[in-house]
Amino acid sequence: DAKTTQPPSMDCAEGRAANLPCNHSTISGNEYVYWYRQIHSQGPQYIIHGLKNNETNEMASLIITEDRKSSTLILPHATLRDTAVYYCIVRVSGYGGSQGNLIFGKGTKLSVKP
Amino acid sequence: DGGITQSPKYLFRKEGQNVTLSCEQNLNHDAMYWYRQDPGQGLRLIYYSQIVNDFQKGDIAEGYSVSREKKESFPLTVTSAQKNPTAFYLCASSFGTHQETQYFGPGTRLLVL
Protein backbone atom coordinates (compact mmCIF):
# COMPACT_ATOMS: atom_id res chain seq x y z
CA ASP A 1 0.00 0.00 0.00
CA ALA A 2 1.06 3.58 -0.67
CA LYS A 3 2.33 5.41 2.40
CA THR A 4 0.96 8.75 1.23
CA THR A 5 -2.42 10.49 1.13
CA GLN A 6 -3.32 12.96 -1.60
CA PRO A 7 -6.57 14.65 -2.62
CA PRO A 8 -8.07 12.88 -5.64
CA SER A 9 -8.42 16.02 -7.73
CA MET A 10 -7.63 19.74 -7.85
CA ASP A 11 -8.23 22.62 -10.24
CA CYS A 12 -5.89 25.51 -10.97
CA ALA A 13 -6.20 28.57 -13.20
CA GLU A 14 -3.63 28.92 -15.95
CA GLY A 15 -0.75 31.17 -14.92
CA ARG A 16 -1.41 30.74 -11.22
CA ALA A 17 0.60 28.64 -8.80
CA ALA A 18 -0.57 25.09 -8.27
CA ASN A 19 -0.02 23.79 -4.73
CA LEU A 20 -0.43 20.04 -4.41
CA PRO A 21 -0.46 18.65 -0.85
CA CYS A 22 0.66 15.25 0.35
CA ASN A 23 0.47 13.64 3.78
CA HIS A 24 3.06 11.05 4.77
CA SER A 25 2.70 10.87 8.54
CA THR A 26 4.48 7.51 8.91
CA ILE A 27 7.60 8.51 6.99
CA SER A 28 10.88 7.21 8.41
CA GLY A 29 13.95 9.35 8.95
CA ASN A 30 15.84 8.03 5.93
CA GLU A 31 12.96 7.96 3.47
CA TYR A 32 12.78 10.49 0.65
CA VAL A 33 9.67 12.15 -0.77
CA TYR A 34 9.42 11.82 -4.55
CA TRP A 35 7.01 13.49 -6.96
CA TYR A 36 6.16 12.16 -10.39
CA ARG A 37 3.45 13.15 -12.81
CA GLN A 38 1.68 11.24 -15.56
CA ILE A 39 0.06 12.89 -18.52
CA HIS A 40 -2.75 10.83 -19.99
CA SER A 41 -1.55 7.63 -21.70
CA GLN A 42 2.13 8.45 -21.19
CA GLY A 43 4.79 7.12 -18.85
CA PRO A 44 5.31 8.89 -15.50
CA GLN A 45 7.75 11.80 -15.51
CA TYR A 46 10.08 12.53 -12.60
CA ILE A 47 9.60 16.02 -11.13
CA ILE A 48 11.56 16.42 -7.90
CA HIS A 49 12.52 14.73 -4.66
CA GLY A 50 13.77 15.70 -1.21
CA LEU A 51 14.65 14.42 2.23
CA LYS A 52 14.05 17.28 4.67
CA ASN A 53 15.21 20.50 3.06
CA ASN A 54 13.09 22.39 0.57
CA GLU A 55 14.10 21.76 -3.01
CA THR A 56 13.67 23.67 -6.25
CA ASN A 57 14.42 22.82 -9.86
CA GLU A 58 13.34 24.07 -13.25
CA MET A 59 9.99 22.29 -12.99
CA ALA A 60 8.81 22.83 -9.44
CA SER A 61 9.50 23.46 -5.78
CA LEU A 62 9.08 20.97 -2.96
CA ILE A 63 8.28 22.21 0.52
CA ILE A 64 8.62 19.63 3.32
CA THR A 65 7.33 20.43 6.80
CA GLU A 66 9.80 20.41 9.67
CA ASP A 67 8.29 17.23 11.13
CA ARG A 68 8.39 15.67 7.63
CA LYS A 69 4.82 14.44 7.95
CA SER A 70 3.60 16.38 4.94
CA SER A 71 4.85 18.16 1.86
CA THR A 72 3.63 20.44 -0.91
CA LEU A 73 4.60 20.42 -4.55
CA ILE A 74 4.44 23.88 -6.09
CA LEU A 75 4.19 24.54 -9.81
CA PRO A 76 4.83 28.30 -9.82
CA HIS A 77 3.07 29.22 -13.06
CA ALA A 78 0.78 26.39 -14.16
CA THR A 79 0.12 25.93 -17.87
CA LEU A 80 -2.43 23.79 -19.68
CA ARG A 81 0.35 21.25 -20.33
CA ASP A 82 0.68 20.71 -16.59
CA THR A 83 -2.69 18.95 -16.55
CA ALA A 84 -1.80 15.47 -15.31
CA VAL A 85 -2.01 13.04 -12.39
CA TYR A 86 0.60 13.91 -9.77
CA TYR A 87 1.99 11.15 -7.57
CA CYS A 88 3.61 11.73 -4.19
CA ILE A 89 5.74 8.74 -3.22
CA VAL A 90 7.69 7.92 -0.10
CA ARG A 91 10.69 5.93 -1.18
CA VAL A 92 11.45 2.91 0.97
CA SER A 93 15.16 2.98 1.61
CA GLY A 94 17.82 0.32 1.43
CA TYR A 95 19.39 -1.96 -1.10
CA GLY A 96 18.09 -5.33 -2.02
CA GLY A 97 14.71 -6.94 -2.21
CA SER A 98 11.93 -4.60 -3.22
CA GLN A 99 13.01 -1.90 -0.80
CA GLY A 100 14.20 0.48 -3.46
CA ASN A 101 11.06 0.33 -5.51
CA LEU A 102 8.45 3.01 -5.97
CA ILE A 103 4.94 2.44 -4.65
CA PHE A 104 2.43 4.48 -6.63
CA GLY A 105 -0.95 5.36 -5.16
CA LYS A 106 -3.78 6.97 -7.11
CA GLY A 107 -2.31 10.48 -7.04
CA THR A 108 -3.99 13.86 -7.54
CA LYS A 109 -5.54 14.70 -10.88
CA LEU A 110 -4.64 18.34 -11.52
CA SER A 111 -6.73 20.17 -14.09
CA VAL A 112 -5.32 23.48 -15.27
CA LYS A 113 -8.07 25.63 -16.74
CA PRO A 114 -7.78 28.66 -19.08
CA ASP B 1 18.75 10.91 -27.85
CA GLY B 2 19.14 9.08 -24.56
CA GLY B 3 16.11 7.45 -23.06
CA ILE B 4 13.89 4.43 -22.70
CA THR B 5 11.93 3.01 -25.59
CA GLN B 6 9.07 0.55 -25.47
CA SER B 7 7.51 -1.26 -28.35
CA PRO B 8 4.98 -1.71 -29.64
CA LYS B 9 2.74 1.14 -28.50
CA TYR B 10 -0.33 -1.08 -28.83
CA LEU B 11 -0.38 -4.88 -28.72
CA PHE B 12 -3.22 -7.32 -29.20
CA ARG B 13 -3.24 -10.78 -27.70
CA LYS B 14 -5.45 -13.71 -28.48
CA GLU B 15 -6.67 -16.03 -25.75
CA GLY B 16 -3.99 -18.56 -24.76
CA GLN B 17 -1.21 -16.68 -26.53
CA ASN B 18 2.08 -15.49 -25.07
CA VAL B 19 3.23 -12.01 -26.05
CA THR B 20 6.49 -10.18 -25.40
CA LEU B 21 6.83 -6.47 -24.70
CA SER B 22 10.13 -4.81 -25.52
CA CYS B 23 12.00 -2.33 -23.31
CA GLU B 24 15.36 -0.83 -24.28
CA GLN B 25 17.41 1.88 -22.58
CA ASN B 26 20.62 3.65 -23.60
CA LEU B 27 21.09 5.50 -20.32
CA ASN B 28 23.67 3.01 -19.01
CA HIS B 29 21.36 2.26 -16.09
CA ASP B 30 21.92 -0.89 -14.05
CA ALA B 31 18.37 -1.33 -12.78
CA MET B 32 15.23 -1.86 -14.81
CA TYR B 33 11.59 -2.33 -13.82
CA TRP B 34 8.23 -3.38 -15.21
CA TYR B 35 4.98 -1.92 -13.90
CA ARG B 36 1.36 -2.54 -14.75
CA GLN B 37 -1.29 0.18 -14.63
CA ASP B 38 -5.04 -0.44 -14.75
CA PRO B 39 -7.55 2.33 -15.56
CA GLY B 40 -7.79 4.92 -12.79
CA GLN B 41 -5.21 3.11 -10.70
CA GLY B 42 -1.62 3.65 -9.68
CA LEU B 43 1.30 1.53 -10.87
CA ARG B 44 2.03 -1.95 -9.57
CA LEU B 45 5.45 -3.58 -9.79
CA ILE B 46 5.68 -6.81 -11.80
CA TYR B 47 9.43 -7.56 -11.95
CA TYR B 48 12.66 -5.70 -11.47
CA SER B 49 16.31 -6.33 -12.25
CA GLN B 50 19.24 -4.79 -10.43
CA ILE B 51 21.92 -6.23 -12.68
CA VAL B 52 22.38 -8.30 -15.82
CA ASN B 53 21.32 -11.94 -15.50
CA ASP B 54 19.45 -11.27 -12.28
CA PHE B 55 15.84 -10.29 -11.64
CA GLN B 56 13.34 -10.38 -8.80
CA LYS B 57 9.58 -10.72 -8.55
CA GLY B 58 7.56 -7.68 -7.67
CA ASP B 59 4.09 -7.55 -6.19
CA ILE B 60 2.17 -9.10 -9.12
CA ALA B 61 4.61 -11.40 -10.93
CA GLU B 62 2.22 -14.32 -11.51
CA GLY B 63 1.56 -14.89 -15.19
CA TYR B 64 4.60 -12.88 -16.30
CA SER B 65 8.22 -13.70 -17.08
CA VAL B 66 11.30 -11.60 -17.83
CA SER B 67 14.92 -11.94 -18.90
CA ARG B 68 17.92 -9.66 -18.53
CA GLU B 69 20.62 -10.94 -20.88
CA LYS B 70 21.86 -7.47 -21.73
CA LYS B 71 22.15 -4.32 -19.68
CA GLU B 72 20.15 -2.35 -22.24
CA SER B 73 17.21 -4.72 -22.57
CA PHE B 74 14.55 -6.08 -20.21
CA PRO B 75 11.73 -7.78 -22.18
CA LEU B 76 8.52 -8.79 -20.46
CA THR B 77 6.50 -11.82 -21.57
CA VAL B 78 2.83 -11.93 -20.72
CA THR B 79 2.00 -15.63 -20.62
CA SER B 80 -1.32 -17.40 -21.12
CA ALA B 81 -1.36 -17.93 -17.34
CA GLN B 82 -2.08 -14.23 -16.88
CA LYS B 83 -5.88 -14.27 -16.90
CA ASN B 84 -6.43 -10.52 -16.99
CA PRO B 85 -3.62 -9.08 -19.10
CA THR B 86 -5.42 -6.02 -20.49
CA ALA B 87 -3.53 -3.05 -19.04
CA PHE B 88 -0.97 -0.32 -19.68
CA TYR B 89 2.56 -1.65 -19.18
CA LEU B 90 5.37 0.68 -18.20
CA CYS B 91 9.10 0.04 -18.18
CA ALA B 92 11.51 2.12 -16.12
CA SER B 93 15.22 2.25 -15.36
CA SER B 94 17.55 3.80 -12.80
CA PHE B 95 21.26 3.85 -12.02
CA GLY B 96 20.66 1.70 -8.97
CA THR B 97 17.82 0.76 -6.67
CA HIS B 98 18.76 2.80 -3.61
CA GLN B 99 16.90 6.10 -3.81
CA GLU B 100 17.88 6.65 -7.42
CA THR B 101 15.36 8.34 -9.65
CA GLN B 102 13.47 6.06 -12.02
CA TYR B 103 12.88 7.15 -15.60
CA PHE B 104 9.94 5.74 -17.51
CA GLY B 105 9.31 4.72 -21.08
CA PRO B 106 6.17 5.72 -23.03
CA GLY B 107 4.32 2.49 -22.25
CA THR B 108 2.66 -0.35 -24.16
CA ARG B 109 -1.09 -0.84 -24.09
CA LEU B 110 -2.02 -4.53 -24.24
CA LEU B 111 -5.49 -5.57 -25.31
CA VAL B 112 -6.96 -9.05 -25.38
CA LEU B 113 -9.06 -10.05 -28.38
A chain contacts of residue B31, beta-carbon cutoff 8 Å: 100
Q: Could you check whether the bond before residue B106 is cis, i.e. omega within 30 degrees of 0?
A: no
- Which residues of chain A are within 8 Å of residue B43 when distances are taken between CB atoms? 44, 102, 104
Q: What pLDDT, in 10s, does the model give residues B93-103?
A: 988 766 578 89
In sequence order, what DSSP letters do the residues of B44-67 get, joined into one string? Answer: EEEEEEEETTEEEE-TT-TTEEE-
Each residue's pLDDT tens digit, B36-72:
999 888 889 999 998 999 999 998 999 999 999 999 9
Which pLDDT value is given to residue A93? 54
Tens of each residue's pLDDT in chain A, 114 residues: 668 999 999 999 999 999 999 999 988 888 889 999 999 889 999 999 999 989 999 999 999 999 999 999 999 999 999 999 999 998 765 544 455 567 788 899 999 999
Question: What's CA B42's distance to the chain center, in Å?
Answer: 15
Element (H, E) at B32: strand B31-37
**Per the CB < 8 Å rule, is A106 touching B106?**
no
Residues B79-88 pLDDT 10s: 988 889 999 9
pLDDT at position A2 is: 64
Calculate what percentage of chain B has a pLDDT beyond 90.
Answer: 70
- Mind telling me how many Å the CA of B14 is from chain A's nearest CA? 23
Report the distance separating Cα B110 and Cα B87, nearest Å: 6
| B10, closest residue in chain A (CA to CA) | A41
